[in-house]
Copies of this chain bind each other. A is one copy, B any other.
């Protein structure tokens, strides 16, 4: 039984002797059938089969040149994204889509989708077949990500002025067009994935990928995370509790990274077992991504990150490091999540999973 319920009390930190209860997530049925990994299960090492012996990861290949790989794949993704939004009429909306989609962004999600696809594709790396089967899905995941960023940045939501080092979409194009730009990117993700995949991937697999992507966007994923995030503004961290924080991070961040990896596996024709391993891997690096993000938010400036920082604290919003545990404990958690992610990759061809191993290390050590 791989499922670790989010609300299993034995897995949660009872910080300062207090048990935090939060009704809105006390019976998240939508998550029951998914593999859920909790931050606290990592911190307290009570994750059952999730914990492998220390040092097991040393067997994996760490000499992989991740920087070159990342640049190469990001260039491929950028080229595919560029083609996916041609400058047709009406021009304003296409320009708004291209503004947020094409410039900036580390392309972590598309890269994850392609990298998760790679180990499943037999003998086609030389002809680049691996990349093609996952590219439209990789672009779709990035479109969903950018769509959610545009909507989350709106004045009626997080009211952010800067994103990826430049003014947010609504600052440039106005609120109405920003709402429509998010909608258009959301729809384009499904169109792009299904149209481009036709002929490369079987319809059965394409349908599975559509289901995975759709579930990740709505009330089982991104939207749920943002809803709880919005309702948490102004709450005292200790009152809100770590469960709420974890719910937000699992839904706002980990869910889409999980979808990226799982869709990569689906497009590559992987088995259910392989899918579950990469689902767990992605969930680990999803939490890792957010833990690092929260550390950066309190330790770096707006200029260094290319987005507003310290804003969460100013708005009374919660950040992991400031709530309950402290920075040092958070750095320790990041290291554990990174190791746990890599453990899921044991059993795959070590050369082919090298990008995924390196991605976990990159996310753990990134500084912007």
**Which residues in B have their C-beta under 8 angstroms from that of A182?**
183
A226 contacts which chain B residues (CB < 8 A)? 180
A183 to B223, CA, bound (A): 8
A204 at the interface (CB under 8 A from B): yes
A214:B227 contact, CB within 8 angstroms? no
Q: Are B219 and A88 in touch, CB under 8 angstroms?
A: yes
A120-128, A185-193, A296-304, A333-341 - interface stretch:
A185-193
**Pairs A-B, 3 closest by C-beta atoms:** A191-B214, A203-B203, A156-B175
A327 neighbours in B (Cβ, 8 Å):
none
Which of B187, B202, B218 is close to A188, meaning CB atoms less than 8 Å apart?
A: B218
Interface residue from B180, B198, B228 paired with A151 (Cβ < 8 Å): B180
Contact with B along A145-162 (1 / 0, CB 8 A): 001100100101100000
A182 to B226, CA, bound (A): 13
Instruction: Given A182-B183, A188-B218, answer yes or no on A24-B223 (Cβ-Cβ < 8 Å).
Output: no
Q: List, sorted by A's number, 10 A–B pairs whose CB atoms are closer than 8 Å.
A: A25-B89, A26-B89, A90-B228, A90-B231, A183-B217, A184-B218, A186-B186, A187-B215, A195-B211, A198-B207
* Chain B residues within 8 Å of A51, by CB: none
Distance (Å) between the CB of A164 and the closest chain B CB? 20
Bound-state CA distance A136–B329 (Å) is: 48
Choose among B179, B202, B211, B217 the residue that contacts A156 (Cβ–Cβ < 8 A). B179
Q: How far is the CB of A226 from chain B (nearest CB, A)?
A: 6
A207 to B190, CA, bound (A): 10
Q: Which of B151, B210, B219 contacts A210 (CB 8 A)?
A: B210
- Indicate whether A347 reaches chain B with its CB closer than 8 angstroms: no
A93 at the interface (CB under 8 A from B): yes
The answer to whether B187 and A214 touch across the interface, beta carbons within 8 angstroms, is yes
A365 interface residue, CB < 8 Å from B?
A: no
Does A319 interact with chain B (Cβ within 8 Å)? no
| Other 9 A-B pairs with CB < 8 A, given A30-B89, A180-B226 | A23-B89, A93-B224, A93-B227, A94-B219, A156-B174, A184-B219, A187-B214, A191-B214, A207-B210
Instruction: List chain B residues, Cβ under 8 A from A177.
Output: 227, 230
Q: In angstroms, how far is the closest chain B Cβ from the Cβ of A249?
A: 15
> For the complex, what is the distance from the CA of A67 to the CA of B1, rounded to whole Å?
53
Instruction: Select one of B93, B175, B218 contacting A191, CB under 8 A.
Output: B218
CA distance A96 to B109 in the complex (A): 30
Query: Quick check: is A314 within 8 A (CB to CB) of the other chain?
Result: no
A91 partner residues in chain B, CB cutoff 8 A = 24
Q: Does A28 interact with chain B (Cβ within 8 Å)?
A: yes
Distance between Cα atoms of A156 and B181 in the complex (Å): 13
Closest to A174 in B: B156
Contact indicator per residue, chain A 18-29, by CB within 8 Å of chain B (1) or not (0): 000001111111
B190 lies within 8 A of A176 (CB): no
